[in-house]
Amino acid sequence: MTGYRAPYPVPGVIWASLPMPALLIDAQGTILDSNPAAEQFLVTASRSLKGQAVVDRLHVGIALVPALARARANRSALVVNEVEVAALGRAPIQCTLQIVPLADNPGIILLLIEPREIADRLGRGGANRGAARAAIGMAEMLAHEIKNPLAGISGAAQLIAMNAGADDRALTDLIVAETRRIVKLLEQVEQFGNLRPPERRAVNLHDALDRARRSALLGFAARMTIIEDYDPSLPATLADLDQLVQVFLNLIRNAAQAAGGRAGTIRLHSFYDRALRLRHKDGSDYPLPLQIEIIDDGPGLPPGIADQIFEPFVSGRENGTGLGLALVAKIISDHDGWIAVESVPGRTVFRVSLPVAPDDPASKKDAR
C-alpha cells in the first residue's frame, strides 16, 4: 500500500498480533488498513473495510470526526474513556479509544479500540472464581446439616396430614412442598462440592454442542428453533467432554427459559478469534481463540445484574436459584477459559472462550 508508512518496524508481525482492534484512517476519514482484531470486531474482512468511511463502519458515542481532527491539529494522542462503540449487528459495548496521529504523517490516524468490557470482566475473574469457591465451602458445611432436619419436618407434616381436615391438609401439603423445594436447592448447591476435576483431552467443541442441542430439543427446548452456525475448521480444545456438555446444556436451558414459553430462536455460533487473551497473576498471558456463542432473542437480562450473573444466587428469573450460571463459570474457569455475556432487549449472547488443545498446530501458532 502507498500513501503512508506502516507505524511499526515489523508491521506484518506486530500489526497482526495486536490483541485490540486497530484502524489506520486518512485525512478524509477513510479506512486505509485494519488489523485482524478489527476485522473480527467489525465483522468485515480487511479488504472490504479499505476505502470505507470510518463513521459508516463504526458507531461511536462521541463525535468521532471532530475528535480525529483535534488529534491531527494538535499532533498529539487523544484518549477517550468509557465510550460506547458498536459494530455492525452487535450491541454497543464500553471501550477506550486511543486516537494517535502518526509522527511522520499526522494526517493519518491510528485508532485503537480497547473494549473495556473484556478488561473489566477479566478483572472480575478472581471475584467470580472466589464466589464459586465460597459456595463450595457453604455446601460442604451446611447442606448435610440442613437436609436432615428438613426430612424430619416433611415427615412430621405428612403424619399430621393423615388426621387433618381439608384446610389443615392444604397447610401440611404446603410444608411438604416447600421442604422438598429447599432440599432440591441444597442438592444444586452441593454440585459445587461434588464436581470432580475435569478429565481433559482433545475435544471437538461441535460434538459437545451437538450432544447438548439434541438433548435440549427432546426436553426443555422442544418448542425452540436451534440454529447451528459453526466454523467447521475450528480446532480442538483440551476439555472434559461431559462437563462441556453440561455447560452448553445450562446455557441453552437459560436461553430457552428466557423465551418465557414462546417459540423463540437460539443460535449456536462458533468462530475463531485470536484477540482475547487471559492474563495470569504473574503477568503472563495465553490466548483463548475458540469462541462459542449461545444467542437468544428473549427480553434480555434485567438491568443491573449482568455484572453479577455468574455469581451464586444471582438470577434474572423469578424463583431462579442463580446456581446454574455460577456452576457454568466454575467449569469454564477449571478449563482455563472465560465466559462473558452481552445483553440488550431482543438479543442476549453468552460467549465461552477456550484455549486450543496444546498438541494442535494452531495453538503453537497463536502462542507466538
Q: Which residues pair with 348 in a beta bridge?
A: 296, 343
Residue 133: predicted pLDDT:
54
Task: Quote the pLDDT of residue 138.
Answer: 52
- Residue 321 within a domain: yes
Share of the chain above pLDDT 70, in %: 74
* pLDDT (0 to 100) of residue 3: 40
Q: Which residues touch 119 (CB under 8 Å, ≥6 apart)?
A: none
Question: In whole angstroms, what is the distance from residue 23 CA to residue 263 CA?
Answer: 41
Of 117, 138, 173, the residue at which a domain comes to its end is: 117
Instruction: Report, as an integer, the average pLDDT of 26-43.
Output: 86
Residue in the block written with cell 508508512: 5
Indicate whether 180 and 207 sit together in one domain. Answer: no
Check if the beta carbon of residue 268 is closer than 8 Å to that of residue 291: no
The answer to whether residue 98 is domain-embedded is yes
My answer on whether 113 and 173 are in the same domain is: no
Whether residue 3 lies inside any domain: the answer is: no
Four-residue CA torsion sign, 308, 40, 212, 263 = positive
CATH number at residue 95: 3.30.450.20
6: in domain = no
Does residue 5 sit within a domain?
no
Share of the chain above pLDDT 90, in %: 20
pLDDT tens track for 302-312: 776 766 777 76
- pLDDT higher at 186 or 266: 266
Q: Is the pLDDT of residue 185 over 90?
A: no
What's the pLDDT at 7? Answer: 42
Same domain, 171 and 64: no
Q: What is the pLDDT of residue 261?
A: 74
* Number of domains observed in the structure of the chain: 3
| In the predicted structure, residue 10 carries a pLDDT above the cut 50 | no
Which H, E and C letters describe the chain, residue by residue?
CCCCCCCCCCHHHHHHHCCCCEEEECCCCEEEEECHHHHHHHCCCHHHHCCCEHHHHCEECCCHHHHHHHHHHHCCCEEEEEEEEECCCCCCEEEEEEEEEECCEEEEEEEEEEEHHHHHHHHCHHHHHHHHHHHHHHHHHHHHHHHHHHHHHHHHHHHHHHCCCHHHHHHHHHHHHHHHHHHHHHHHHHHHHHCCCCCCEEECHHHHHHHHHHHHHCCCCCCCEEEEECCCCCCCEEECHHHHHHHHHHHHHHHHHHCCCCCCEEEEEEEECCCCEEECCCCCEEECCEEEEEEECCCCCCCCCHHHCCCCCCCCCCCCCCCHHHHHHHHHHHCCCEEEEEEECCEEEEEEEECCCCCCHHHHHHHC
Please report whether residue 253 resides in a domain: yes
End-to-end, the C-alpha distance of the chain in Å comes to: 26
Other Cβ atoms within 10 Å of 93 Cβ, number: 17
Report the half-sphere exposure of 368 (CA within 13 A, side-chain side).
7
What is the spatial distance between Cα 354 and Cα 368, in angstroms, rounded to a whole number? 17
Both 130 and 104 in a single domain?
A: no
Of the segments 115-119, 197-201, 269-273, 299-303, which one has the largest average pLDDT value?
269-273
Model confidence pLDDT, tens digit, residues 317-354: 555 555 778 888 888 988 989 988 888 889 999 999 99
Tell me, yes or no, whether 258 and 311 share the same domain: yes
Both 211 and 273 in one domain: the answer is yes
Interval 278-291 mean pLDDT: 75
Domain finish residue from 95, 117, 139: 117
For 138-175, write each residue's pLDDT tens digit.
555 556 567 667 778 888 888 888 888 887 888 888 88
Q: Is 24 within 8 Å of 33 (Cβ atoms)?
A: yes
User: Domain for residue 167, yes or no?
Assistant: yes
Same domain flag for 165 and 223: no
Q: Averaging pLDDT over each range in 4-13, 85-94, 134-143, 351-360, which range is the top one?
A: 351-360
**Is residue 161 located within the same domain as residue 270?**
no
Full residue range of the structural domain in which residue 143 is found: 124-194
**This prediction's pTM:** 0.54
Question: 213 and 347 share a domain?
Answer: yes
Question: Which of 194, 214, 236 is a domain's end point?
Answer: 194
Does residue 110 carry a pLDDT above 80? Answer: yes
CA angle 72, 74, 78 (to 5 degrees): 75
Let me know if residue 1 belongs to a domain. Answer: no
Asked if 229 and 269 touch (Cβ cutoff 8 Å), the reply is yes
111 shares its domain with 146: no
CATH code of residue 317: 3.30.565.10
Domain check: are 64 and 130 in the same one?
A: no
Burial (CB count within 10 angstroms: exposed 0-12, middle 13-18, buried 19+), residue 288: buried
Taking alpha carbons only, the member of 181, 364, 184, 195 closest to residue 289 is 364
* Count of positions (residues) in the chain: 368
Report in angstroms the alpha-carbon separations of 39 from 28, 35, 36, 88, 301.
21, 7, 5, 11, 28
Task: Please check whether residues 267 and 336 belong to one and the same domain.
Answer: yes
Burial group, residue 197, by CB count within 10 angstroms (0-12, 13-18, 19+): exposed
The 10s digit of each residue's pLDDT in 218-273 is 888 888 999 999 999 999 999 999 889 989 998 999 899 888 778 889 999 999 98
